[in-house]
Chain A
Amino acid sequence: MTGHVPLSWFLALSAVLFSLGVAGFIFRRNIITMFMSIELILNAVNLTFITFAYQRQQVAGHLFAFFVMVVAAAEAAVGLAIILTVFKNRETLNIDDLDSMKN
């Protein structure tokens, strides 16, 4: 039938988003932007889970995506609290300036 989308396109989209997330995590120096890149990666993974749930016709993939969301929420709460604390103490969000453990 015409107008249908090949399954692999969804996976390719997920791959593109994943790579962009990785790139953002590596290239950017702002902690918040890096954190958002991780969220982008998690979203790409969720898309893969849901695509495979469609292919297998099973709801299990949705549940994995659901758990990823829950973990992402927990991670965001703690991560942002850490970022707030870091900013209060160091007055910077640049990851390169936070190297006091290095020496």
Chain B
Amino acid sequence: MDLILFIVFALIAVVAAINVVVQRHPISSAVSLIAVMGSLAVLYLLLGAEFLAAAQVIVYAGAIMVLFVFVIMLLNAGGETKAGRSFVASLLGVPVLVALLILLTYFTARIYPRQTEVHFGGFRGGTAQAVGRALFTTYLLPFEITSILILIAIVGAIVLARKELE
């Protein structure tokens, strides 16, 4: 059961991720990216990260990607025009990518042989309670710093958007 779930959602994630890269129109890429995030949320659940799975859907798929789609719709820019690309890049691009992929997969499989097996319910420390407790005790300082970061981002976004009105 776990294996079937993993294979199904990993396949969806990989196919959608390829789609993100190859689609010519940004909105198709955005929709594919939402699919990647959704299937990753299911994999998080499989790994026992229930709070993170919900946060992934609410924050990533539900808020950040809506912003992306919103901006794409607002600009209503068409598909990407094929720009003149250097000869070396178009020749070496795909083979280098495939080589990188194979190397990465090889090393992860090599360093982590089948020592740990993942099954649903194998880790129960990912509840909202556990995450919240760690967040407000051990990791309180980083948490406060990220809140300041968010504040800076809000101010920055407003300043950038305001400039256009003048």
Contacts and interface: CB of A to CB of B under 8 A. Distances in A.
A74 to B, nearest CB: 4
Interface string B28-63: 011001001100100110111101100110011001
B91 interface: no
A84 B113 contact: no
Contact of B134 (A22, A60, A83): A60
Contacts, number: 241
A69 to B, nearest CB: 5
Q: Which bracket fits the contact residues of B?
A: 35 or more
A81 B161 contact: yes
Interface string A29-62: 1101101110110010011001101110111101
Main secondary structure of the interface of B (DSSP, over half): helix
A36 B26 contact: yes
B84 to A, nearest CB: 8
A85 B153 CA distance: 15
B99 to A, nearest CB: 10
A88 B109 CA distance: 47
A5 interface: yes
A5 B117 contact: yes
Contact of B80 (A15, A19, A29): A29
A43 B146 CA distance: 18
B135 A66 contact: yes
A11 B108 contact: yes
B104 A19 contact: yes
Contacts of A26: 93
A1 B118 CA distance: 11
Contact of A32 (B3, B14, B71): B71
B17 A20 contact: yes
8 contacts: A12-B105, A16-B17, A19-B104, A54-B123, A69-B55, A74-B149, A76-B67, A84-B74
Given A10-B118, A51-B118, A60-B138, 9 more contacts: A8-B114, A16-B101, A19-B104, A21-B17, A46-B52, A54-B122, A70-B150, A73-B150, A84-B161
Interface of B: 1-4, 6, 10, 13-14, 17-18, 20-21, 26, 29-30, 33, 36-37, 40, 43-44, 46-49, 51-52, 55-56, 59-60, 63-64, 67-68, 71-72, 74-75, 77, 80-81, 83, 93, 97, 100-101, 104-105, 108-109, 112-119, 122-123, 125-126, 130-131, 134-135, 138-139, 142, 146, 149-150, 152-154, 156-157, 160-161, 163-164
